[in-house]
Structure 1
Amino acid sequence: MQNFDYFNPTRIVFGEDTIGRLSELLPSGARVLVLYGGASAEKNGTLAEVRAALAKHDFAEFGGIEPNPSYETLMRAVGQVHREQRDFLLAVGGGSVIDGTKFVAAAALFDGEPWQIMEARGENVTRALPLGSVLTLPATGSEMNNGAVITRRATHAKLPFHSQHTFPRFSILDPRKTFTLPPRQVANGVVDAFTHIIEQYLTYPAGGLAQDRFAEGLLQTLIEIGPRALAEPHDYEVRANLMWVATLALNGLIGAGVPHDWATHMIGHELTARYNIDHARTLAIVLPPMLQVRRDSKRAKLLQYAQRVWGITQGSEDERIDAAIERTRAFFESLDVKTRLQDYAINAAALDDLIAQLEAHDMTALGERQDVTLEVSRRVLEAAL
């Protein structure tokens, strides 16, 4: 197992009727800015509960954060923070809203042009405003980690950043807030969480026995409850388990002491930035061919994945690997998530531009061994057509 330093200060408040605890979770005298996305938080009553819980606090609101939060929108929120001297941020929504709130928290106190935060991947962030979240969409794990992904529309750049200063102080997770989500968003959440786990698990053996078993259990849980989350939208236990698995998928626990990949995510980000495809759907496009193209370097873990997650024990090694990759693709398709570039009217003529984007954003040596070159990325995209 590799050396690691695991730190996660986020307090999780999980269960029914927990939004009412906001008042006790916020610092006394905080000047709060509530950030949210579109109309769903208003329609499902979540914002009304938040407003009621904040009745004795000084708070204002900023809405309109997009599904892929944009630098342009978030800088308007930074302006509001400065004008109104807000000192605590509260994200109400899914991963995009929480990601955007983390950027606002860092940018509001940053000395310099805030896009430099993204260019430096957050290494230049030395302080940030405190923030909390009320989660409404289980998917990204942003409610319990320090990372975010932000898009700059003007340049089609979609980049990640991390900082120890942008962990939420607390996150409220009420599974009932997921009952009214559209099926597309629920399916996206399952795929997103599944791929987060894969990116930390399906690399090469590193002696992380507990991490492997944690990851395999989480993957099996998603396989079990993913279809049920779509078929039984008001089943509290199913939605509660989906919400918690999505959080555990990217709160640092299963990734401690083991290598990480993230090549699927980096290529997926370019597809989202260029074509505005839902983030999770880009992952479903890229992951199966990524595993095929890199099957030799991932052979040992692919065989372990086939046996422990999918129960595939018959056939040659290559046959078992093929079956595991095909079962992965079939799982995504069973959630009505398409897995080919052609499903989004993207053909071979688009690949040169996508490779150029990867090069422009310094994505030339990806993966757990930094051996996913631009040529390998091209092979992955060709196999995704």
Structure 2
Amino acid sequence: MQFSFHNPTRIHFGQNQIAQITREIPSSAKVLVLYGGGSIKQNGVYDQVTQALSRHKWGEFAGIEPNPSVETLDRAVAMVREQGFDYLLAVGGGSVIDGTKYVAAAARYEGYGWDILEGKHRVREALPLGAILTLPATGSESNAASVITRTATHEKRSFYAPAVHPKFAVLDPSVMRTLPERQLKNGIVDAFVHVCEQYLSHNDQALVQDGYAEVLLRNLKQLAEQYDQHETPQWRENLMWTANQALSGLIGAGVPHDWATHGIGHELTAQFNLDHAQTLAVVLPALLRELQPQKESKLRQMGKNVFGLSGEALAERTIEAIEALFQSLGVKTRLSEYAINRNDIVTQVVPALADHGTLPMGEQRNVDLACCEAILLRAV
């Protein structure tokens, strides 16, 4: 192992912690609050934010979509520049926080913000930002990654820049009470696959990272099995903290990452507007079967240490257990269940993967176009 690890986000976890933003954001800052469709005005979060910012100068930008679009976010960038906002506060789930990271970076760049996603501009500075998490899933509230969609061209791309790491994050599990069940179930799947992307590679004897990853996977398995308790404070608290730790950087430090499931899934979202977690639940089992020989050791380890399996055909039975976990939440695991067929794969998804310059993928950089097509056809 060889790595440098630093997570600069200060986390305030628990009920009534939104008040902490009063002290976190400098009193001299002019704050832009960014959020999504307005649910925060129904669950009490907006009122708490308003109270906490009562001594600050602030404005708001609403309408950041799931799979945030650069077209929407560029309007926020223009607003920041025109009105002189110098601190951003994201209030929402991963999409709002990812979008706010883009705004923070693009507002300090004189060119077209999409250059950041295409790798034409390396982000070295950004506006400071904080986050109030309302939907646990992505871990975006304490990492430096962002995924953005360009609707006009059906592209979904990501960037990573330490400059957009949130300065602080508020995680209040009580705000999850009003979330639709679909979003809660998607959150479990999303966090589970985040762990898998950092764990299901090859066995490199990283005992701390593997052990912690297995704890997180067992947590998510238990939360799925105990979904009937999702209205209890304990269930909400454990999902919110587990989802955060799944992508805070610790379990991925010094170990090989895959991320091909996400890369392929992004194209499915861009082409067919599926939920992010829906694409992950479809792609991961197919990818694991296609790449089973190179992932055999870790699949067997996962089967033993996460699902309590033993005996013959352990790797395949582990993949079956992952599928069953997703299905137990009502999340589909086949593209055909979304009316996506082999012709759609060949004529839409494969050409998009070829055009967007993200290949090859995977921890061994061997997930090329042919491999992607094979994975997708398995998933039909």
Alignment partner of 2:371 out of 367, 370, 376: 376
Pick from 260, 278, 282: which aligns with 2:257?
260
Q: Does the residue aligned with 2:131 lie in a helix, a strand or coil?
A: strand
Task: Give the distance between the partners of 1:363 and 1:295, measured in 2 at CA.
Answer: 22
Which residue is 1:345 aligned to?
Answer: 339
* 1:180 and 1:233 in contact (8 A); partners too: no
How big is the shift at 1:233?
3.1
**Structure 1: which 5+ runs fail to align?**
none
Aligned-residue sequence identity (percent) comes to: 50
Which of 336, 349, 355 is matched with 2:350 structurally? 355
Q: Is the 8 A contact 2:223 2:239 kept in 1?
A: yes
Q: CA deviation at 1:226?
A: 2.3
Q: Which moved more, 1:261-270 or 1:36-45?
A: 36-45
Counterpart in 1 of 2:164?
A: 166
Alignment-mate amino acid for residue 365 of structure 1: P
Q: Which residue in the other structure is 1:202 paired with?
A: 200
How many Å apart are 1:255 and its aligned residue? 0.2
Are the aligned partners of 1:157 and 1:273 in contact in 2 as well (CA < 8 Å)? yes
Classify the secondary structure of the residue corresponding to 2:191.
Answer: helix
The structure 2 residue matched to 1:225, chosen from 223, 232, 236, is 223
Which residue of structure 1 aligns with residue 212 of structure 2?
214
Q: Counterpart of 1:100 in structure 2: which amino acid?
A: G
Corresponding position: 1:308 with 2:308: no
Q: Do the aligned partners of 1:332 and 1:339 also contact (CA within 8 Å) in 2?
A: yes
Does structure 1 conserve the Cα–Cα contact (< 8 Å) formed by 2:224 and 2:328?
no
Instruction: List aligned pairs for 1:88-237, cutoff 5 A.
Output: 88-120=87-119, 124-228=122-226, 230-237=227-234
Residue 250 of structure 1 deviates from its aligned partner by 0.3
The alpha-carbon deviation at position 288 of structure 1 amounts to 0.4
Counterpart-to-counterpart distance in 1, 2:60 and 2:238: 30
Amino acid at match of 1:337: V
2:202 and 2:294 in contact (8 A); partners too:
yes
Deviation of residue 361 (structure 1)?
1.0
Number of residues paired by the alignment?
A: 379
1:59 aligns with 2:58: yes
Using the TM superposition, give the Cα deviation of residue 225 of structure 1 relative to its aligned residue in structure 2, in angstroms: 1.2
TM-score, length-scaled by structure 1: 0.97
Shift of 1:156: 0.5
Cα distance, 1:183 vs structure 2: 0.3
* Offset from partner CA, 1:78-115 (integer Å, 9 cap, x none): 01101110000000000000000000000000131111
Structure 2: distance between partners of 1:360 and 1:251: 31
Of 226, 240, 243, the match for 1:243: 240
Partner AA of 1:241 in structure 2: N
C-alpha separation in 1, matches of 2:296 and 2:238:
31
More displaced 10-residue stretch of structure 1: 219-228 or 327-336: 219-228
Give the aligned residue type for 2:23. E
- Asked if 1:282 corresponds to 2:246, the answer is no
Q: Deviation string for 1:196-250 (max 9, x for gaps)?
A: 000000000112111000000000000001243x422321111111000000000
Instruction: Find the aligned partners of 2:352 and 2:117 in 1 and give their Cα distance.
Output: 16
The one-letter code of the counterpart of 2:211 is R
| TM-score in terms of structure 2 length | 0.98
Distance 2:5 2:357 in 1: 27
Kept in 1, the 8 Å contact 2:27–2:55? The answer is: no
Q: Secondary structure at the match of 1:112?
A: coil
**Residue matched to 1:49:** 48
Residues 285, 322 of structure 2: 8 Å contact kept? yes
CA distance, structure 1, for counterparts of residue 124 and residue 179 of structure 2: 36
